[in-house]
């Protein structure tokens, strides 16, 4: 108790206000997401009773063994005209759960109610999907609390930067979809400039370091995009398997290039800001430091970060394909076919990002030195 009291005594008035506001947001949003059923048009039910039916052993044509179960579910409808009534549902699921799911008491599901059979008092329906909004919200709060707890002000800026960039991306896509005849790449180029300026200003504030980093980021990203274009043009895009690109409603090449463009931006920004901060740091310690020394130190720093930065992109891109690769392999698809189908685009993205990262090291170095010299001249 004493510890807690002391903790409160230590906090300033401003801090207490902040914590209270965040706590209020947290409590009210969690309360809302657990009681928002009436806002949904689709019927939502809560599972209250489960009876496990038969199970059957499954062996598919590739000798994979699995087990299928049937659940008889009784659930309570939480919204709409039938609110409060019970509904009977049937669920079939497998142990592996690639496309199905075992349900537990307390789960909330979207269902469609079968209105044809009205002779019995209980309703019958089919399960459509799971209500996932509350889980997203809870994970989002864990994310927010972790970042605020560890990073304080910088954590807050990261959260703001994520939110602003997400909204900006969504808006840019709206503009693209609603205007005919405008290329996605153009939209993305403009967005990339905005993303860079906003993120770097949020991360690093208004100063010379940031301006140098912005210039270096933009140069680095466009150079890497240009190299990628050149390679694709020379090789006639041989080896890229667009067939397996998912969720396509638009020309595939444009979507792929735009994704590649935005995807490497974060890493390039990271390299640019690291280069400019450290070189400006050296200059601020000793205003008479020769350009040669700056170059040598800059290259050393660049060497240190390029491997890990390329790795970050590499893992972020490749990992997403793991479930699909397993599915292919378990269905006896030939190895080379599986890899080239599922990984060619991800590899191209990771490599393009890597080229961007490495190119940004000298670009960032010379841009920062230019800014340093300009400051010196003044």
Closer residue to another protein, CB minimum distance, 29 or 96: 96
Closer residue to another protein, CB minimum distance, 283 or 328: 328
Q: Are 70 and 54 in contact (CB under 8 A)?
A: yes
Q: Are 79 and 57 in contact (CB under 8 A)?
A: no
Q: Are 258 and 281 in contact (CB under 8 A)?
A: no
Closer residue to another protein, CB minimum distance, 122 or 315: 315
Q: Are 200 and 212 in contact (CB under 8 A)?
A: no
Closer residue to another protein, CB minimum distance, 37 or 87: 37
Closer residue to another protein, CB minimum distance, 41 or 51: 41
Q: State phi, psi for 332 to the nearest 5 degrees.
A: 55, 35
Least Å distance between CB 260 and another protein?
6
Least Å distance between CB 371 and another protein?
19
Least Å distance between CB 312 and another protein?
4
Closer residue to another protein, CB minimum distance, 74 or 162: 162
Whole-angstrom CA distances from 182 to 13, 168, 178, 188, 218 are 52, 17, 9, 11, 21
Q: Are 161 and 203 in contact (CB under 8 A)?
A: yes
Q: Are 281 and 322 in contact (CB under 8 A)?
A: no
Q: What does DSSP say about strands 86-94 and 65-77: parallel, antiparallel, or unpaired?
A: antiparallel
Closer residue to another protein, CB minimum distance, 164 or 289: 164
Closer residue to another protein, CB minimum distance, 101 or 114: 101
Structure tokens at 70: 């049937």
Least Å distance between CB 186 and another protein?
15
Least Å distance between CB 8 and another protein?
22
Least Å distance between CB 117 and another protein?
26
Closer residue to another protein, CB minimum distance, 124 or 324: 324
Least Å distance between CB 214 and another protein?
13
Least Å distance between CB 112 and another protein?
13
Least Å distance between CB 99 and another protein?
5
């Amino acid at each position: 108790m004493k510890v807690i009291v002391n903790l409160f005594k230590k906090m300033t008035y401003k801090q207490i206000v902040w914590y209270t506001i965040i706590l209020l947001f947290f409590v009210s949003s969690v309360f809302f997401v657990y009681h928002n059923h009436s806002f949904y048009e689709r019927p939502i039910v809560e599972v209250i009773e489960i009876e496990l039916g038969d199970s059957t052993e499954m062996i598919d044509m590739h000798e994979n063994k699995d087990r299928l179960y049937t659940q008889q579910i009784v659930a309570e409808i939480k919204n709409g005209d039938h609110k409060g009534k019970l509904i009977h549902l049937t669920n079939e699921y497998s142990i592996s759960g690639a496309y199905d799911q075992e349900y537990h008491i307390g789960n909330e599901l979207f269902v469609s109610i079968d209105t044809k059979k009205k002779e019995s008092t209980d309703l019958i329906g089919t399960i459509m999907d799971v209500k996932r909004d509350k889980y997203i919200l809870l994970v989002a709060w864990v994310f927010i609390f972790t970042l605020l707890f560890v990073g304080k002000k910088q954590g807050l800026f990261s959260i703001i930067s994520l939110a602003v960039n997400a909204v900006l991306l969504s808006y840019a896509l709206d503009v693209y979809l609603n205007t005919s005849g405008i290329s996605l790449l153009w939209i993305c180029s403009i967005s990339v400039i905005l993303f860079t300026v906003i993120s770097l200003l949020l991360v690093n504030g208004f100063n010379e370091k940031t301006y140098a980093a912005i210039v270096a980021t933009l140069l680095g990203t466009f150079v890497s995009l240009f190299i990628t274009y050149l390679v694709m043009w020379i090789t006639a895009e041989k080896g890229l398997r667009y067939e397996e690109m998912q969720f396509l409603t638009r020309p595939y090449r444009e979507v792929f290039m735009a994704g590649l463009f935005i995807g490497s931006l974060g890493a390039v920004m990271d390299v640019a800001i690291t280069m400019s901060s450290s070189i400006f740091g050296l200059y601020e310690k000793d205003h008479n430091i020769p350009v040669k020394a700056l170059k040598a130190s800059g290259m050393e720093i660049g060497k240190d970060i390029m491997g890990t930065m390329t790795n970050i992109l590499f893992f972020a891109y490749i990992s997403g394909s793991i479930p699909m690769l397993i599915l292919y392999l378990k269905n006896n698809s030939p190895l080379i076919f599986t890899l080239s189908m599922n990984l060619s685009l991800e590899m191209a993205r990771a490599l393009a990002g890597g080229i961007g990262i490495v190119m940004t090291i000298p670009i960032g170095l010379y841009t920062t030195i230019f800014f340093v010299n300009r400051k010196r001249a003044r």
